[in-house]
Structure 1
């Protein structure tokens, strides 16, 4: 350990590395490349590197042209017209407006079971199609020839421009989906690409894969890297050794390693919009439907100690479900305005009182549940800490099960858990990117918490108040407070990414929101 600390504090020995290639650490496996079915950040980020939508996100929450070279919005905000440039898939076939129409129809078709289907709700007939009440061909997205896409919304949506930059709004080739069949998006070979890079070397289960420059990309001349190689590393000691021996150019630190590198110019603390929280399966276990039980669980957790002593990576205690930085109005942060301090403050005495009351109401004297978490280093440490905090409640036995990321995701979405440590990273700079997930009909509401007042407030913010900025803001603030006071989930912390980057690697684009990373502008300086 002493040797590790000493070498960790120093700068790396310089050895030659390929000029146009970098090796990037990932903490978990790649789950899916199916645009309609992917759900996690690693898949989302990889899709953003290998594919492209109508618009493209860059630093500062700015949008630049992607496949669409220009677009126009009608005065009433209900019709969006996108004019497409001539571009190609990696197999040489043209990318057309029909590819967008097909992709969106595929995602919201019930049999696809796309978990992001709800993000299309503002498009005409999308809800009815997703409910199986209307044919997909009735979707309010129409291809006018190959080069123009016209989208009809049922109500204004100011952040629609951000949605079309996200992976779930990317185009898909119907011919490719038909060709690859059930294998589509499950390996790098069973997919075609229209972005800066192409995915190679991914079998669907391995821990290494690469993004290689796509010479058919319309803006290929701006892409400087030939390859980004990804390596999954879960052991902190291995990460340091790999970085020090130049087998990793970019790596993420864990725990005390951050302090070891605090004076190094290679350390970058990236504050993102990823919120970690605990979900309780209220559908499977009526016990968790008791509000006093949920509040007792939340009040049992010391979030300051958790972030400072356990995580030690720059993460900060949650103020609520919506991350800091996802919304600001009249100089006020949404997370600050919707803050319910009592809902996220450690209070062991009150927690035990509420717990005793909840046990009596549910007719229980003791309970045993299992907490699911990722098998990463931070996942293991987080689960152990939460376990130690919750078992302070009399009669509460908590078992821990750490699973591979992909398995944990599947178990979560299928409701195969008692309690689970989950995360969500906002897709666009608006509180609704998180708040919409907790409605009773959302596929991302894994714990199946329901609250009619919450649903009504979100419906108003997305409907009658959509064009009334101040009222919409208040609807969302009230909704967040309803969620906090009812402890629908247990907010834990807002994550940070303590990243080591080798000298000379420039142009990394980091987004607090999804897709988090963009490698299209990365280069190596001399």
Structure 2
């Protein structure tokens, strides 16, 4: 066994950890240490094992803490684990936990992680992220998720209250990167069993993060306050964090400029150049490990036309990505011709032929493919595009509607609130749908695994060769070329219409410090932030 102390940074490339907010020399703290953070949609769930969206993950990182955290640059640093050991065959990880408490004062134990991991894998929980345990290669995860084995057979156990053992089926170089994801967080068993589905309500939720939940008005705001029982509370400076829901980005920007919000991590499409000029100390754009696409419903419930590869290719070719990023968004985004975000660590860009064509060539080929598939003026292809409520999503859907009109496709737009939109996606109640995937950890598998036959995969793309590539990557000494091949196959089969790779054109109040400018994951921890006196 090789023992690795997280507190000494490691020869494995982990940076020296920054445990909490630390003002720079000469900075004077503001008297009021509060932050109001904008979110577009209501927090759908504050259960770490049932949440599926980015906003929920942002909130959960404040309320709970896993074995690992990320620092301001995205490097893995200690969370509840202080050190760990790895067996020589890289199949057994033994984590040693620090003295930590839940917000009600109870100790955080290895058993709390065992309960949490079993809970997410248990079919009775109906977690949409149960597959994450499989992605981590946790022993027996596939069988537990399918109900073929009991949750107690999952490859995790408490050696004692401070020692946690995780067993894998294959060496998993990215394992540590997964351990800051909410799916791997511990869970307070006695609270969940006492409160049932209501355990995440304000006043009932018990977490082990730096903050606790004081108030949650669904679709309005969630108010978090400093958790004095957090192990590093003495170094936590922000006392209050509010997640404020504003469904209209333009109104959100207005409220930020009026002083009601402090951080808006997605400015309205097309406005960033102006904001950079007018507010140079607040407007900033950083790479963000998310990719935007339109999904095809390839399930039995999807339209027959989309089963034809030529149709899918035509629809993808016709989308003018340069217009979208340069004329509509204008926030530092990049055109996408593949799925994985270009800034993901270890990513090798695939060889995608259509990326080398001019847009005029793409449109010409798209028209020919549709005609070959039997569509034309006498038999126009008709489709609906579904998107969730947002002025930006609407602008993009309208743009795509026009791009497809140019090749003879008639498009109807369907707008739904976020919860309805995601429910329809999960039930395959759509034809074409706006979607985005944000990396769960900084490694290409988090993207390509989405389209695995039994992955999250709302469009139900299925390809045996693709699945084999992903399985091969799990045990490869260097999986990067395999991920590259998977991307090329994904686009060869046109499982989706990749549109753009995210950047985050943000507005951040100049006195707010400690937010992650250099972390492509853009995962943030309020415990690392503070406000300076102006």
TM-score calculated relative to the size of structure 2:
0.89
Confirm or deny that 1:381 pairs with 2:365. no
1:196-235 residue pairs with structure 2 within 5 A? 196-203=210-217, 205-235=218-248
Aligned counterparts of 2:395 and 2:343: Cα–Cα separation in 1:
27
- Give 2:261's match in structure 1, choosing from 248, 260, 275: 248
Aligned counterparts of 1:281 and 1:243: Cα–Cα separation in 2:
38
Confirm or deny that 1:164 pairs with 2:188. no
Gaps of 5+ in 1: 1-16
SS for the counterpart of 1:517 is coil
1:28-427 residue pairs with structure 2 within 5 A? 28-121=41-134, 122-185=137-200, 187-203=201-217, 205-251=218-264, 252-263=266-277, 264-283=280-299, 284-285=301-302, 286-328=304-346, 333-334=347-348, 336=349, 338-342=350-354, 346=359, 347-359=362-374, 365-394=379-408, 396-427=409-440
- Give 2:514's match in structure 1, choosing from 496, 507, 511: 507
Aligned counterparts of 2:345 and 2:522: Cα–Cα separation in 1:
17
**8 A Cα contact 1:343 1:484, kept in partner:** no
SS for the counterpart of 1:88 is coil
How far 1:183 moved relative to its partner?
Answer: 2.3
Ranges of 4+ aligned residues in structure 1 off by more than 4 Å:
510-515
Specify whether residues 441 and 146 from structure 1 end up closer, same or farther in structure 2 by C-alpha distance, changes over 3 A only.
same
How far 1:211 moved relative to its partner?
Answer: 2.1
SS for the counterpart of 1:86 is coil
Aligned counterparts of 1:100 and 1:359: Cα–Cα separation in 2:
56
Confirm or deny that 1:484 pairs with 2:484. no
Specify whether residues 27 and 512 from structure 1 end up closer, same or farther in structure 2 by C-alpha distance, changes over 3 A only.
farther
The CA deviation string for residues 41-92 of structure 1, in whole angstroms up to 9 with x for no partner, is 0001110111100111113331111111111111111000000112111112
Gaps of 5+ in 2: 1-29
1:465-480 residue pairs with structure 2 within 5 A? 465=476, 468-469=477-478, 472-480=479-487
SS for the counterpart of 2:374 is helix
How far 1:233 moved relative to its partner?
Answer: 2.1
How far 1:18 moved relative to its partner?
Answer: 6.3
How far 1:510 moved relative to its partner?
Answer: 4.8
**8 A Cα contact 1:319 1:339, kept in partner:** no
How far 1:456 moved relative to its partner?
Answer: 0.8
The CA deviation string for residues 102-125 of structure 1, in whole angstroms up to 9 with x for no partner, is 111111111222222222121111
TM-score calculated relative to the size of structure 1:
0.90
The CA deviation string for residues 119-143 of structure 1, in whole angstroms up to 9 with x for no partner, is 2121111111111111111111010
The CA deviation string for residues 386-416 of structure 1, in whole angstroms up to 9 with x for no partner, is 111122232x221112222222122211212
- Give 2:464's match in structure 1, choosing from 437, 449, 452: 452
Aligned counterparts of 1:200 and 1:60: Cα–Cα separation in 2:
30
Aligned counterparts of 1:497 and 1:369: Cα–Cα separation in 2:
31
How far 1:243 moved relative to its partner?
Answer: 2.1
**8 A Cα contact 2:102 2:206, kept in partner:** yes
**8 A Cα contact 1:44 1:515, kept in partner:** no
Aligned counterparts of 1:299 and 1:25: Cα–Cα separation in 2:
35
How far 1:319 moved relative to its partner?
Answer: 3.5
SS for the counterpart of 2:527 is coil
